[in-house]
Amino acid sequence: MVHIDPTREQFDAFKSLPRDSPILMLNLIRLKDTVEYPDGETVSGAEAYRRYGEYSGPIFRGLGGEIVWRGTWEAMVIGPDDKQWDIAFVARYPNAGAFMAMVTNPDYQAIVHHRTLAVEDSRLMRFGEGSGGEGFAG
C-alpha cells in the first residue's frame, strides 16, 4: 500500500492531540524516478521534491520549524526489505499548532503539489519530545 497523504481518520487523530507542546515529525520519503507536471515538463522525483523544499522552507522556518536530524539510507536492519527510503529527516515544530498553520497556509497549499508529484511512498510519524539518556529505555 502506498501512503502519500494522511487519511481523514489519521488527520483527525493528529488534530485531537495536544497542540501546545513541541512535536517531532519523522519523515521517510521514497521518490518517484520521474515526474510529469500538468504542463508536460518532466523532471526527476528528486528535482520535484527539491522544489517542494525550496518553496516550503520559508513557510516552515517562519513558523519556528527546524530540521533536527537528516540521514541517508544505508540498509534495512529490521523490517520489510522492499522499504527503502530516499530521504529521512526529523522536523521539529514549536508546537502542533505550527504544523497545522503550515499545512493550512494558502501559500503552502499552492506549492505542496511538488511533494505530491515527487513522492512514491512516505511515512510521517508524530512524536512528543523526550529526554536523552544512556540506555534504550527512557
Domain at 93, CATH number: 3.30.70.100
What digits encode the pLDDT tens for the residues 81-104?
877 899 999 999 999 999 999 999
- Rounded mean pLDDT of 110-134? 93
Residue 82 domain-assigned (yes or no): yes
DSSP classification of residue 68: E
Distance CA 121, CA 5 (A): 9
- Rounded mean pLDDT of 3-32? 91
Residue 5 domain-assigned (yes or no): no
Residue 1 domain-assigned (yes or no): no
Residue 39 domain-assigned (yes or no): yes
Question: Where in the sequence is the domain holding 76, given as residue range(s)?
Answer: 21-128
Residue 48 domain-assigned (yes or no): yes
The per-residue pLDDT for 128 is 93
Instruction: Read off the pLDDT band of 71 (50, 70, 90).
Output: very high
Say how many domains are in the chain. 1
What does the block give as the cell for 73?
539510507
